Structure 1
Amino acid sequence: MGLIGIILSLGLLMYLAYRGINVLILAPLLAMLAVLLSGGLPVMATYTQVFMQSLGGYVTTYFPLFLLGAIFGKVMADGGAARTIAEKIVEWVGGDRAILAVVLACGVLTFGGVSLFVVAFAIYPIANALFRRADVPKRLLPAAIALGSFTFTMTAFPGTPAIQNAIPIPFFGTNVFAAPLLGTLAGLIMLGGGTLWLSRRAKAAQGRGEGYGVHERTGADSSLPEDADMPGFVAAILPVIAVIGLNALLTYVVFPNMNADYLADAKYGATELSRVAGIWAIIISLVVSIVLALALNWKRFADVKETVNKGTMGSLLPIFNTASEVGYGAVIASLPAFGLIRDAVLGLFPNNPLASLAVAVNVLAGITGSASGGMSIALKALGEQFAAMGVEQGISMELMHRVTALSSGGFDALPHNGAVITLLAITGMTHKKSYSDIFVVAVAIPVFATITVIVLGSLGL
């Protein structure tokens, strides 16, 4: 009965989230449903001591990243930097390569730390105009934005400040540059494969006489006035470079030469520098980059206080949605029947923890419709076991980190994913018109890239 309760709870979570019910309500209710069906377990104690404790622990660890990332994205958008970067990339690659221009523009911004939601709003007006001029079917636009925003820059390329690349750090004692060669390879597979797919789809559509089409304007069609004073490219790109450069400097130069023995003290968590340095590096990099972006574009902000306040408030719902999913996962992991699921996952590939890890993260990311949520649930429940298995078999913790991050960006983009639903709303498209291409570039190709990394990593390459 306990196993049935878990399956029913997970099924309802996926279905009701797809129907638009907020996970802040769903997660605790469905977690308690699973507890009730398990029988004999204290519901209120599980809620306050397991669900809420796990939710709070996640917020404590990752809130600065969500907060600073949202503020940075809002500053880049309101100051015009995001638009300048996008327009420059369009200029470089040519207006006739609309798909590649949109993918690269989104990739540069998200790799620089701008939230994918902010990127979607900032890029859409330019991308829409570019698709219209090039007469590329608009139904391909959501997939182009998805490819550039939540695939290779979210999970693959080393150094990305995306939350999905930061969550594995405490579990494996790594940093955001983990497994750089295999991460870069996976990113190139996603970028190249996705762009090739969309380009061929566009060519086939044009061969049938299908062009941009007739579409109504959406509320996101105009993010900034056409005659707005835009910053120069150097001023726009410097904050993005600062995020990446400072992150690398702190990770490889500053922190390794710093004495942090005080971290062994209980009041500082009785931890080690290697377990927190990755988070520290991202926090410091984002703070400096926010200040830099504000300073370089100060005169272009209508109201700096309003920009910062909106960025701050924009971070709250995403982190609490994800933290609620983490709390839900902690409850499920505490149930006796979860042992059957854990043993099944670990037993799928008993001699290859990389493959077991990939399956666990992908399945949970797909069920929750969240890359960060599914990854957090998997690591919370099985992270120690996977790390121990990796050590026993001589697998690099950096490789474990990269496979974990890559796996979170596969099944997460199923139709009920919040980012997918938001992207379709911004572009005025529907699942029926655009989701098949989103599935290929954001699910199928990333899963193939993950499998490639697992195979090469298992061979010691």
Structure 2
Amino acid sequence: MGLFGILLGLGLLVWLAYRGWSVLLLAPAAAMVAAAFAAEPLLAHWTETFMGAAARFVAQFFPIFLLGALFGKLMEDSGAVGAIAEFMTARLGMRRAVLAVVLAGAIVTYGGVSLFVAYFVLGPMAMALFRAADIPRRLMPAAIMVGSSTFTMSALPGTPAIPNTIPMPFFGTTPFAAPGLGIVASAIMLAIGLWWLRRAEAQARVRGEGFGDDRPGAAEAAAADPLVRERAVAAREFDPAEIRHGAQAPSGPPPALAFLPLLVVVLTNLAMSFLVLPNLDTAFLKGPRWGGITLAAVGGVWAVATALLAGILTLLATGGRRIPELRASVDAGANASVLPVLSVASLVGFGAVVAAMPAFEAVRDWVLGIGGGPLVSLAVATNLLAALTGSASGGLTIALEALGPTYMAIAAAQGIDPGLLHRIAVIGAGTLDILPHNGAVITLLAVCGCTHKESYLDIVMVAIVSSVAALAAVILLGGLVGSF
């Protein structure tokens, strides 16, 4: 009965979340279902197990959610994201419209701009480009996803994306974990994505298929849609409802100033990870005042938070006066982080309750018994949970909350670099999470004015197939030569 309760709770969570119910209510309710079937104390698991795990997640990651959402909103309202998109368009021209959209998305998201902010800026930009180049509108979501939601989310070393930060406290790693393998995975994802888009564009031209009908106002409608919002907030770190708040600058900054905050984020992240933090005297952290933690447990979060803060300060110093309503933009950016962090924290709480059930030992044994060794079983676990929850962040946190210590023990016993576990876990979570019910997929389709029927096959090829290929390559290389 205990195992049935776990499956029933997870099924209710997935089904009702897809129908637009709030994860803030669904996650504890589903956790109580699992506890009830196991004849476990309900209130104790709610207030202690569930809330304890959720609170720990908020304590660890709220700075990154907060600063990431604020940085994205300020980049949008200053006109910097639009300026970068216009610069890429001017440089590459209409003949390479697809490449311009892909690279613009990659640059802004690797530089720390929140995914949903990128969607709402790149969507209208891609629509104008594709219309002018007479490329089918149905390819817009796939082009945006290649640059913003594949390798810059899970593989490229140092990316400040939330999924890349989640394994750091569990494995004691940095955002640059397994950098060589990350670069290999990034190259595979980008190559497959661009190949498919070029192929689809060429086939469309042979058939005489052009841009098709125009659907103006799609981005504005998506931002105002409450169903899109509920599905989106558990997927990434920005609440789409806050897109409408604040005001955008009438024109963007010069390209150099638009790129500067992104460059500062990348360089600060690199410097903090490899130069500053390793040379700090952090022995004080082992004292009872700080809970006896180590630098490895917090260093990655410190590096990303500092990088995002440096990017914000750079943006305000160079372009803060361009933002028409600075206080409103700051408020919107801060508010945009609250619902996502609490939604993901609720998923973490659900995972903690499930892991505390006696029947979970059978699940753990099944996962660890998957053929191929711990690298394969970790990839399968993160894939399955991300697929079920429709969230890379949610699935990853549930998996690591339940299995992270077990995999660290295996790594220590078998001499596996924790950085390799980090990279496999993140890429795995960013693979099958991109199913039809994924909040990012639903939001992106709404922003582009497309439907699943029109665009989802292309999304599968450029996001799921490319990520599976990259994940297989990382597992194979990691198993043969280790982490690099």
In which range does the TM-score fall when normalised by the shorter chain? Answer: over 0.9
The equivalent residue for 1:12 is 12
Residues 1:348 and 2:365 aligned together? no
TM-score (norm 1): 0.97
Structure 1 match to 2:396: 375
- C-alpha contact (below 8 Å) 1:18/1:415 kept by paired residues: no
After TM superposition, the structure 1 = structure 2 runs for residues 45-444 of structure 1, keeping only pairs within 5 Å, are: 45-220=44-219, 228-349=250-371, 352-444=373-465
1:460 lines up with 2:459 in the alignment: no
Give the paired residue count.
Answer: 459
Structure-1 residue corresponding to 2:2: 2
- Could you tell me how far apart the structure 1 residues matched to 2:263 and 2:110 are? 10
Identity %: 49
Counterpart code for 1:204: Q
Give per-residue Cα distances to partners, 1:185-234, cap 9 Å, x unaligned: 10111111011111211211221111110132124279999993220111
Q: CA deviation at 1:269?
A: 1.9
Contact 2:436 2:452 in 1 (8 A): yes
| Structure 1 runs of 4+ with >6 Å offset | 221-227
Please state how far the C-alpha of 1:11 moved relative to its aligned partner. Answer: 1.9
| 3-state secondary structure, aligned to 1:96 | helix
- The CA deviation string for residues 139-191 of structure 1, in whole angstroms up to 9 with x for no partner, is 11111111111110000000101111111111111100111111001011111
Post-superposition Cα deviations, 1:58-116, rounded to whole Å, max 9, x if no partner, equal: 00100000000000000100001101111111222221111111111011000000000
- Output the CA distance in 2 between the equivalents of 1:430 and 1:24: 27
Closer, same or farther: CA 67–160 of 1 in aligned 2, 3 Å? same
Determine helix, strand or coil for the equivalent of 1:212. coil
String of CA shifts for 1:232-253, please: whole Å, max 9, x gaps. Answer: 1110101000001011111111
Q: Tell me, in whole angstroms, the C-alpha distance in 1 between the residues paired with 2:10 and 2:181.
A: 33
**Match in the other structure for 2:225:** none
> Whole-Å Cα distance in 2 between the matches of residues 37 and 396 of structure 1?
38
Deviates more, 1:121-130 or 1:59-68: 121-130
Give the partner amino acid of 1:306.
A
CA change 1:52–1:417 in 2 (3 A) is same
In structure 2, the gaps of 5 or more residues are 222-242
**Letter of the structure 1 residue corresponding to residue 266 of structure 2:** I
**1:348-389 C-alpha deviation (Å, 9 max, x unpaired):** 03x621111111111111111110111111111110111111
Residue 4 of structure 2 aligns to which amino acid in structure 1?
Answer: I
8 Å contact 1:124–1:221 — kept in the other structure? no
Contact 1:370 1:418 in 2 (8 A): yes
If the length of structure 2 is used for normalisation, what is the TM-score? 0.92
Question: Which residue identity is paired with 2:42?
Answer: V
Q: Which amino acid aligns with 2:445?
A: L
What is the rounded CA distance, in whole Å, between the counterparts of 1:271 and 1:13 in structure 2? 33
Contact 1:263–1:270 (CA under 8 A) maintained in structure 2: yes
Contact residue 79 and residue 297 of structure 1 kept, 8 A: yes
Please give the alpha-carbon distance, in whole angstroms, between the structure 1 residues aligned to 2:214 and 2:220: 11
> Is the deviation greater in 214-223 or in 204-213?
214-223
Secondary structure at the counterpart of residue 348 of structure 1? coil
Give the SS at the match of 1:415.
coil
Root mean square deviation of aligned Cα: 1.7
Find the aligned partners of 1:248 and 1:133 in 2 and give their Cα distance. 39
Aligned residue identity for 2:327? K
Partner SS state of residue 440, structure 2 = helix
For 1:143, the aligned partner's letter is A
